[in-house]
Amino acid sequence: MHVTALGEAAALNPVRLIIGGLDLLGRFTQRLEVDISGPVQSTPVLLSSQVGALGHVDLAPAGGIQRTPNTARLCAGRIELVPKPKDIPSCPEVPAQRSSDRTTREYRISVVTPLFGGGVEAGKPDETLPIRGTSIRGHLQFWWRATRGAAFATHEQLFVRHAEVWGTTEKASPIEIDLREVTTSRPQPCARYEWNPNARRGQGGWRLSWEARFANSALSYALFPFQGKPPPSRDANPEEPPALFIETASFNLRARYPEVLRKEVETAIWAWVNFGGLGTRTRRGCGALSCEDLAPKDIADLQDWFRSRAGNESAAVRDWPTLPASVLVSGEVSTSVEAWKKVINLLQHFRQGSGFARNPGEPNNRPGRSRYPEPETIRRVTDRRSGQHARLTQIPDDAFPRAELGLPIVFHYQGQGEPPDTVLYPGKGLDGQPRERMASPLILKPLALGNGRAVPLIMRLLTPTLTGADLRQGEESLPLPPTTAIRDGRLATYRDSPLAGSASGSALDAFLVLARHADHGFREVKR
């Protein structure tokens, strides 16, 4: 097989060409030609480069018999073939029954907190198609698994029913989802970098300035992944500009399905609208939704609403996240954004609050030292410690309790002699392979009420207990003490422990106990 790759503005950049599993590395000027023995294959062709460009890949068998070129786009270091018409798989068969036994329901849904991401490119909104039906379909499948899927004990049982309801690559789903009357505001940056001439003792430096609705509140804590990276010099542009967000959006969601699947579809939509959202960081309240037809009428209706909607769903721990038997809500009724601020402020207090999660601050606005075990554990593992930070002997140095709240966690120390940057990941999977992420089982968001108001909500999804973690410095996994724990009763008993509210020394349990404290006013709503 003869391969020719053409492109623009990519001279002298390393190229990796992968064809049918064969990895080739070379230099890409205006043309890269490689001869490979063997028949022409309709396998993926990937071309990676440090410089994005437009190009195309021609496939032809040995002997020079040309085939119609496969066109492709090289963007963000990756190029994939666009298949020729005859390479496109045939459309799955349309379900047979589409008329008399089918139900159609339409919901008017609004976005009530800023929406980040949601486009084809992760973390970025799509200005031409800001709300996509395919994305919503993915959300519905997640919440179906969390509700109706909890009735199945194994992945195998779940997969069989999931295929019947949502389809497979070979068989289309009998459920139709489409959007109508979509309206959105224009995306705008959530923050900007401003030059501060007084920073660094008069040398000057860049300062992150959050957009007004996020400034001077705990919301910037929840939005830290969107802050971007400052310019490398005074005259440069940001290395990564702060993310764009959509402030307001609304749309009609139309669902059409066989009557026998009514419960499957309506339960998934109900759970997604009230506990999920659109875009990214939905578990921290971004892209929260409201639908009057699916919301509790008011705060007095919460108990009956939750029991009637979720009461028949299984509350069992499975290998996938499932709906719990209860949620926590605050009795403080407000706007959606104010309810969002309240619940995020509680999380920030739990993880970083002065006098609770860390010692009171020091002069010059320097934060006090953390009361959690992670800093002392990392200093022990790396054998690095600043002379200004003596060992806090009352704090265990063999535990990572905050891993339960979601991974990865990046640890960055300042000061001479301190440990280098490290990242905490989940422990290896059952297949022995490293894992890069564990989504937080905590959902913190505003729950919209039917009367136009909202209350802060905390939901702890039921998930398998995290039993191990992997601390890495770069690509290297660091050896941990054999006694290293994620949760343990001893983590709740040392002086000033933030986990004192949990007898098991669990960060998840301790956070929920803190939320129910009289100072914060969250109460339990059961099925």
> How many other CB atoms are found less than 10 A from the CB of residue 363?
5
341 and 460 housed in the same domain = yes
Domain membership flag for residue 49: yes
CA dihedral over 261, 262, 266, 267, signed as positive or negative: negative
The one-letter amino acid at 371: R
Report the C-alpha gap between 255 and 239 in whole angstroms: 42
* Domain span holding position 8: 2-87
Q: 309: how many CB neighbours lie within 10 A of its CB? A: 18
CATH number, domain of 110, equals: 3.30.70
CA distance 259 to 18: 47
185 or 415: whose pLDDT is higher?
185
With beta carbons less than 8 A apart as the criterion, state whether 502 and 513 touch. Answer: yes
Over residues 276-299, the mean pLDDT reads 97
Residues 317-339: pLDDT tens digits?
A: 999 999 999 999 999 999 999 99
Does 251 fall in a domain?
A: yes
List Cβ neighbours of 33 (8 Å cut-off, separation of 6 or more). Answer: 2, 3, 4, 5
pLDDT at 100: 60
Q: Domain check: are 119 and 34 in the same one?
A: no
Asked whether residue 113 falls in the same domain as residue 208, the answer is no
CA distance 192 to 211: 8
Q: Given pLDDT bands bounded at 50, 70 and 90, which one contains residue 299?
A: very high
Where do runs of H (alpha helix) occur along 324-399?
336-352, 374-382
Q: What is the pLDDT of residue 92?
A: 56
Q: What is the pLDDT of residue 364?
A: 64
Q: Has residue 316 been placed in a domain?
A: no
Q: Encode pLDDT of 103-122 as tens digits.
A: 999 999 999 999 999 887 77
The string of pLDDT tens digits covering residues 17-48 is 444 444 444 333 333 444 333 333 333 344 43
Q: What is the mean pLDDT of residues 4-18?
A: 38
Closest CA to 179 of 225, 129, 213: 129
Percent of the chain with pLDDT over 70: 80
Task: Report how many domains make up the chain.
Answer: 4
Same domain, 206 and 350: no
Which of 26, 57, 87 corresponds to the end of one domain? 87
On whether residue 380 sits in a domain, the answer given is yes
Q: Is 94 within the bounds of a domain?
A: no
CB 140, CB 148: distance < 8 Å = no
115 and 139 Cβ atoms separated by less than 8 Å: no
**Per the domain annotation, does 323 fall within a domain?**
no
Mean pLDDT, the chain, rounded, equals 84
- Give residue-wise pLDDT tens across range 376-427: 999 999 999 998 899 999 999 999 999 999 999 999 998 889 999 999 999 9
What's the pLDDT at 88? 52
Q: Is residue 312 part of a domain?
A: no
